Amino acid sequence: MTHPPDDALLTAIAGRFGTPAYVYDLDRMARRLVAVQGALPGAAVLYAVKANPNGAVLRRLASLGAGAEVITVGELERAARAGVPPERILVGGPAQDAALIGRAADLGAGLVSLDSPGQWRGWAASGAAARFLVRVNPGLDPGTHEHLATGAPGSKFGLPAEAALALGREVAAAGKLAGFHVHAGSMIRDLTVYDAVLDVLEPLYAALPGLPLLDLGGGFAVPDFPLAAFAARARAIAERLGTALLVEPGRFLVADAGVLLTRVLHVKDSGPRSHVIADAGMAELIRPALYDAHHPLRVVGGDAAGSAPAGRQAGDGAGPALVDVDGPLCENADRLARDRHLAGVRPGTLLAVAEAGAYGFAMASNYASSLRPAEVVIEAGRPRLARRRERVDDLWRLEEDGPDGS
């Protein structure tokens, strides 16, 4: 994170709650939300719950007026439990099965983003009072990782413009169409992507004039997204189309407000590559293995930048200066970082993996019967436990058979 909690506080948190542990600065998340709201006055800011569904995070963002974008029954229930008003909940995603449709209709969720004609059939039969957006696949290259390129031609998301218009006409005939939705991709930095998005959207809004809403999704890059420049473009697009605006930031609100704390278990300074083995890895933070994601990593109490310069350096007896930081599991992909400067690392050294507030714990698993870590939140400089560390008996708590197989 750009302005992390000080090292004394992180050290105290690790000592009190153990490692691995996720730590979230709720005040920083709140400031980021307020910045988005200020840059886009009048726009609906719907937090993408999948980024970080922790209840403390959701309650803080909801208290500041954020809505929620949800894709599962679980996310829907979390948003409602956190106090998000139903009219500020948008249901999206490629599934939208009968259970989600039924529960969203019962709660009175205000908006739905339709990803396919089949979804519309289910909603039409439900009698839900929601208004609908049709998700458009703009068929463009957003210049990001292929797994994050949700607006690419081969993506599973949304409909090509012609099919989106056909579905839009059907929904409009039922008096339920509010507009169109585009999510070009995640970790977007190049704002010219939105010029191409406008080229796709403009004929749709011209064909169905008077639609009140435009949803430009999220996907804002962390940590250096040009928010002010994006806001100017988004306002201009909405003005040109004559709509109000919705955005769905997730990672942008929470990523750099979170760190993953992990302790070094062993240092192997031998062979062609030096390895620091930590107590956190892909079970806690899968993004480096899944997306080859780069997370800044540093020694707590040290001055290591965790950058990745060319070449390698020899160890110094207290741990290598240029290392891979690996997890504890028997998987070669179980790495947090490659080729980082971490001088003086020893067993017991505390490390902080930054930009971990999004898609960290949310994607954590019990692979190899790992225990998912604690989540700690900080408000006004004071830490508190938001989710306890899993215990061994949590691993079989939901299993139906007893220890004797009965």
| Active-site amino acid positions | 330
**Which residue(s) pair with 182 in the sheet?**
none
Q: Is the peptide bond before 20 cis (omega within 30 degrees of 0)?
A: yes
Name the nearest CA neighbour of 52 among 367, 406, 396, 362: 362
Q: Which residues of 200-210 are buried (b: 16+ CB within 10 A; e: fewer)?
A: bbeebbeebee
Instruction: Identify the burial level of 401 via C-beta atoms within 10 angstroms of its C-beta, where 0-12 means exposed, 13-18 middle and 19 or more buried.
Output: exposed
**What amino acid occupies position 130?**
A
Rounded CA gap, 285 and 363, in Å? 7
Question: Hey, is 392 helix, strand or coil?
Answer: helix
The residues pairing with 341 across neighbouring beta strands, listed in sequence order, are: 322
Residue in the block written with tokens 């109000």: 244
In this structure, what DSSP letter does residue 40 have? S
10 Å Cβ neighbour count for 314?
10
Residue 191 burial (C-beta neighbours within 10 Å; 0-12, 13-18, 19+): middle
The torsion angles phi and psi of 66, rounded to 5 degrees, stand at -70, 140
Contact 114/158 with Cβ under 8 angstroms?
no
Q: Which two tokens stand for residue 372?
A: 């998912």
Cβ atoms < 10 Å from Cβ of 212: 11
